[in-house]
């Protein structure tokens, strides 16, 4: 099976090592026997972005997120069609805010979003950071990650995760991220597909890879076990 | 009366704290509770020098203080590295008279980059050094632009800024401003024409967002940059390292003052240059500064020589959650030219706060360890699996890599199977777990 992956704005939305999500997914799919190609769309590049099997974007500074938005606007229809067609799309960190109706920055300036869904984000002057444990109803495994944002997102119809530890869309714990068809948005930052073997497997399944459980990476599994055990201990001490 | 009481309380707690090993920020904290504006009410020296930035604060401050003292000037400074307002208050209240007068010639402050605005709410520095700004402790700091915005609130019109012109983010502080002095490095032997690193934060102009061009890079995104779209560019420097001769461990400043390096790293060069610049402004002649900082060995030494069995080794202190510090350490190890083993330890990500976050490992340019001199690599500590996963995406041959959760076990293996020369690279938070296995010369 041939699979085409597209990493959007890897040159600006790359604040927390997000490129690793694409690296690990490409390796995994290849090891599962797929013919994988990876493309990037850089900030001022113009090209046809339709026809990819997987779309990904990571986090950027608040300014770079707006810069990305200014360029991404012209791809609104292509992204919207991909989402409607059930293509697998993952937006981590503040890139997921771009898919909503609007973002208001800390000074009150409003930026129109891509309207893939009808949520809104408001940025503030306080940084919200912390280690997280998230549960995801499609999986019976808890996910680990880190939140690093300065915003609250409201009006999400279908959240992605339920936070057991860490900040959600609007408050400590509770609903986090957004989902529409196979388009996933979460404020978990960094290489979440490396940190969470179950999530990697889930994405590969959606992409049509057969029996993905055949391939696993022991360091990745052990790394996950270390982190989830550290985070559970941390959650206990915080209670 | 409150002022007097605050000074007194600060000193008493400082003395008590000294016995229990806690005396750098707690005394100031109580003094500030008693008298919140105490820092405004203290009579301060005419010269107030502040140093902030991602890296090099402590080293720069230490060298400035050393030069000033050796030149007969008295200086009050936070030597113990407690660099938030509480630590600054502890230092100031212990350096003044009971009536609140500081008699020193210079007040020198290392200031935490994110909290500097709280300290300088009460008084303003006359000179403000900003060393560099890049990805550092993002789990607390968010990102470099966030830190930039925080520092911005501590920059006042009357202060003379002393800026690293080679760092584009730092240079933004000098835009449209007269009272700025710039320091930086000329094109030199350590430069590269192409970007080297796992990520390039200098790719787009911080002013207009268009593509930025570099004539050369000193390291990562620090170098000579210009934006053709808006004209933003590296400013000409007033204090300049005009020649770098790493082979003979020396640099030349402003074409005349030669300085020998105790530690051949570009970080050290920048710290020396920043210290040189400040000392010149405080009236000390260049040749005298050069003599005093030549071969200067930092007290907070960033490297320690050790021995493990028959192996000599060097411990290179880096900082977790600070990818550039790792890049520098590896670059240093390779530059020494000896076949070696590299030990990387990530056990406690921070000693000050909890986090299990390891995304920053993907920002480190581990690719440079794919080098004929690097014979094997030991990945150790609680997060050895995350390290191993990261390394699996480099081109380094897997048989060169050994993974040990247990640091003692790694040391036992190194004793038997390590290369002749060892380099251990990790953070303060994990230093002792390794050093307990070796003998320090």
Tell whether B152 lies on the interface with A, counting CB pairs under 8 A. no
HSE toward the beta carbon, residue B26, CA cutoff 13 A: 11
Distance in Å, alpha carbon of B440 to nearest chain A alpha carbon: 32
Nearest-CB residue to B383 (from A62, A217, A226):
A226
Find the DSSP H helices in B22-143. 26-34, 38-41, 57-70, 85-95, 116-119, 138-141
Tell whether B393 lies on the interface with A, counting CB pairs under 8 A. yes
Nearest-CB residue to B139 (from A14, A62, A129):
A129
Instruction: State percent of chain B over pLDDT 70.
Output: 99
* pLDDT reported for residue B287: 97
* pLDDT reported for residue B303: 85
Distance in Å, alpha carbon of B268 to nearest chain A alpha carbon: 27
Q: What is the mean pLDDT of chain A?
A: 97
Whole-angstrom Cα distance, residue A95 to residue A84? 19
Task: Give CATH for domain B42-293.
Answer: 3.40.1190.10
pTM: 0.96
CA A60 to chain centre: 12
* pLDDT reported for residue B167: 98
Selection from A101, A142, A139 nearest residue A122 by Cα: A101
* pLDDT reported for residue A238: 83
ipTM: 0.97
Of 3.40.50.720, 3.90.190.20, 3.30.300.280, 3.40.50.1100, the CATH number of B303-440 is 3.90.190.20
For residue B23, is pLDDT > 80?
no
Whole-angstrom Cα distance, residue B43 to residue B129? 22
Per-residue DSSP letter, B236: P
Contacts of A220 in chain B (CB under 8 A): 385, 389
State pLDDT tens for residues B295-327: 998 876 678 999 999 999 999 999 999 999 999
Instruction: State percent of chain A over pLDDT 70.
Output: 100
Contacts of B403 in chain A (CB under 8 A): 219
Nearest-CB residue to A146 (from B200, B211, B357):
B357
State pLDDT tens for residues B236-287: 999 999 999 998 999 999 999 999 999 888 999 999 999 999 999 999 999 9
**Is B60 buried (19+), middle (13-18) or exposed (0-12) by CB count in 10 A?**
buried
For B22, left (φ over 0), alpha (ψ -120 to 50), or beta? beta
State pLDDT tens for residues B154-188: 999 999 999 999 999 999 999 999 999 999 999 99
Contact assignment for A16 to B355 by CB distance below 8 Å: no
User: CB of B235 within 8 A of CB of B182?
Assistant: yes
Q: Which domains does chain A have, with CATH numbers?
A: 2-238 (3.40.50.880)
For residue A38, is pLDDT > 90?
yes
Q: Would the CA dihedral through B80, B83, B87, B88 be positive or negative?
A: positive
Helix (H, G, I), strand (E, B) or coil at A149: strand
């Amino acid at each position: 099976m041939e699979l085409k992956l597209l990493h959007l704005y890897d040159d600006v939305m790359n604040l927390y090592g997000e490129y690793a999500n694409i690296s690990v997914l490409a390796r995994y799919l290849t090891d599962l026997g797929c013919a994988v190609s990876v493309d990037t769309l850089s900030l001022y590049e113009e090209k046809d972005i339709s026809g990819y099997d997987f779309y990904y974007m990571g986090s950027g500074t608040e300014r770079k997120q707006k810069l990305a938005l200014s360029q991404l606007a012209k791809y609104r229809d292509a992204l919207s069609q991909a989402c409607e067609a059930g293509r697998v799309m993952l937006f981590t960190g503040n890139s997921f805010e771009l898919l909503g109706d609007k973002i208001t920055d800390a000074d009150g300036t409003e930026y129109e979003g891509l309207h893939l869904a009808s949520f809104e984000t408001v940025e503030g002057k306080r940084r919200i950071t912390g280690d997280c444990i998230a549960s995801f109803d499609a999986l019976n495994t808890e996910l680990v990650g880190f939140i690093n944002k300065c915003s609250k997102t409201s009006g999400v119809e279908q959240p992605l995760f339920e936070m057991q530890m860490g900040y959600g869309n609007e408050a400590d714990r509770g609903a986090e991220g957004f989902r529409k068809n196979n388009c996933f948005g979460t404020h978990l930052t960094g290489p979440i597909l490396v940190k969470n073997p179950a999530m990697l497997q889930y994405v590969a399944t959606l992409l049509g890879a057969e029996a993905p459980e055949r391939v696993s990476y022991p360091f990745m599994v052990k790394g996950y076990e270390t982190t989830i055990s550290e985070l559970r201990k941390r959650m206990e001490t915080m209670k | 009366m409150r002022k007097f009481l605050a000074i007194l309380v600060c000193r008493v707690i400082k003395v008590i704290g000294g016995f229990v090993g806690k005396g750098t920020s707690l005394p100031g904290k109580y003094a500030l509770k008693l008298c919140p504006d105490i820092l405004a009410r203290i009579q301060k020296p005419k010269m107030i020098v502040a140093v902030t930035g991602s890296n090099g604060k402590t080293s720069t401050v230490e060298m400035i203080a050393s030069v000033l003292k050796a030149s007969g000037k008295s200086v009050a400074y936070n030597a113990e590295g407690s660099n938030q307002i509480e630590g600054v208050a502890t230092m100031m209240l212990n350096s003044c008279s009971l009536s609140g007068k500081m008699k020193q010639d210079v007040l020198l402050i290392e200031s935490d980059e994110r909290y500097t605005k709280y300290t300088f709410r009460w008084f303003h520095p006359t000179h403000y050094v900003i060393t560099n700004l890049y990805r550092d402790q993002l789990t607390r700091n968010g990102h470099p632009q966030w830190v930039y915005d925080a520092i911005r609130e501590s920059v006042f019109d009357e202060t003379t800024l002393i800026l690293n012109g080679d760092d584009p983010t730092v240079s933004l502080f000098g835009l449209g401003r007269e009272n700025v002095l710039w320091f930086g490095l000329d094109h030199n032997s350590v430069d590269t024409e192409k970007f080297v690193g796992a990520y390039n934060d200098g790719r787009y102009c911080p002013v207009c967002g268009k593509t930025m061009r570099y004539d050369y890079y000193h390291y990562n995104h620090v170098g000579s940059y210009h934006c053709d779209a808006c004209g933003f560019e590296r400013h000409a420097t007033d204090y300049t390292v005009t020649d770098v001769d790493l082979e003979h461990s020396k640099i030349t400043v402003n074409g005349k003052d030669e300085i020998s390096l105790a530690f051949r790293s570009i970080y050290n060069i920048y710290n020396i240059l920043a210290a040189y610049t400040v000392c010149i402004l405080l009236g000390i002649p260049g040749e005298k500064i050069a003599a005093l900082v030549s071969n200067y060995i930092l007290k907070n030494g960033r490297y320690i020589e050790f021995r493990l069995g028959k192996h000599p080794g060097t411990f290179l202190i880096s900082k977790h959650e600070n990818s550039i510090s790792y890049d520098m350490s590896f670059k240093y190890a390779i530059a020494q030219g000896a076949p070696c083993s590299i030990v990387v330890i990530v056990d406690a990500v921070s000693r000050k706060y909890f986090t299990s976050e390891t995304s920053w490992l993907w920002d480190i340019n581990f690719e440079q360890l794919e080098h004929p001199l690097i014979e094997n690599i030991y990945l150790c500590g609680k997060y050895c699996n995350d390290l191993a996963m990261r390394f699996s995406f480099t081109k380094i041959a897997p048989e060169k890599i050994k993974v040990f959760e247990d640091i003692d076990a790694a040391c036992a293996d190194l004793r038997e199977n390590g290369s002749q020369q060892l380099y251990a690279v990790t953070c303060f938070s994990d230093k002792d777990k390794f050093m307990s296995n070796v003998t320090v010369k």
